[in-house]
């Protein structure tokens, strides 16, 4: 093989190697982006105590699950711009009742408080306050 052919072959190999590396990087970047976009954001904590509210039986309510609503503990649509991937919890109480709705957004019994706000990870977390 002549030196010229050898150089041409090396250039093609280099090109192929670089192309391969670039493709892998692109695949990794796309995969990372896809991975990020499928993980819902964490809610912020608007209150470290529950909200005591009087509910009307048969009425539909939307409990804020993202923490960004300014109408706590209810949804004001803020999740659409500030926490895409999170949705409010819609519920209809059977009868008129007074309940404690979660304010920390980390209850395991949404929308009701289950005492999770007393755990260290909530106590030590920052409180979300609107600017
Ligand atoms: S306020 Fe969230 S569990 Fe009590």
Task: Tell how far the Cα of 68 is from the centroid of ligand 1, in angstroms.
Answer: 16
d(CA 30, CA 2): 42
Task: Tell how far the Cα of 54 is from the centroid of ligand 1, in angstroms.
Answer: 17
Is residue 64 in a domain? yes
| Tens-digit pLDDT profile for residues 48-72 | 999 999 999 999 999 999 999 999 9
Ligand 1 site: residues with CB under 6 angstroms? 49-50, 102-104, 106-107, 113-117
55 & 77 share domain? yes
13 & 72 share domain? no
d(CA 37, CA 31): 10
Is residue 44 in a domain? no
- Tell me the pLDDT band of 130, cut-offs 50, 70 and 90: confident
59 & 13 share domain? no
18 & 67 share domain? no
- Closest Cα to atom 4, ligand 1: which residue? 113
Is residue 81 in a domain? yes
Residues contacting 48, CB < 8 A, separation 6+? 103, 104, 117, 122, 123, 127
Range of the domain at 102: 51-123
d(CA 33, CA 88): 25
| Tens-digit pLDDT profile for residues 80-129 | 999 999 999 999 999 999 999 999 999 999 999 999 999 999 999 999 98
pTM of the model: 0.72
22 & 68 share domain? no
31 & 70 share domain? no
Domain count, the chain: 2
Is residue 91 in a domain? yes
d(CA 112, CA 105): 9
Is residue 12 in a domain? yes
């Amino acid at each position: 093989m002549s030196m010229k052919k050898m150089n041409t072959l090396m250039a093609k190999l280099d090109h192929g190697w670089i192309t391969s590396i670039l493709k892998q990087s692109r695949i990794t970047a796309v995969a990372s982006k896809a991975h990020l976009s499928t993980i819902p954001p964490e809610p912020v904590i608007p209150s470290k105590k529950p909200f005591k509210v009087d509910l009307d039986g048969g009425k539909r309510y939307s409990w804020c699950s993202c923490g960004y609503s300014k109408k706590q503990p209810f949804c004001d649509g803020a999740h659409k711009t500030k926490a895409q991937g999170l949705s409010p919890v819609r519920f209809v109480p059977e009868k008129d009742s007074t309940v404690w709705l979660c304010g920390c957004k980390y209850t395991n019994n949404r929308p009701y408080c289950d005492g999770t706000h007393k755990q260290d990870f909530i106590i030590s977390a920052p409180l979300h306050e609107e600017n």
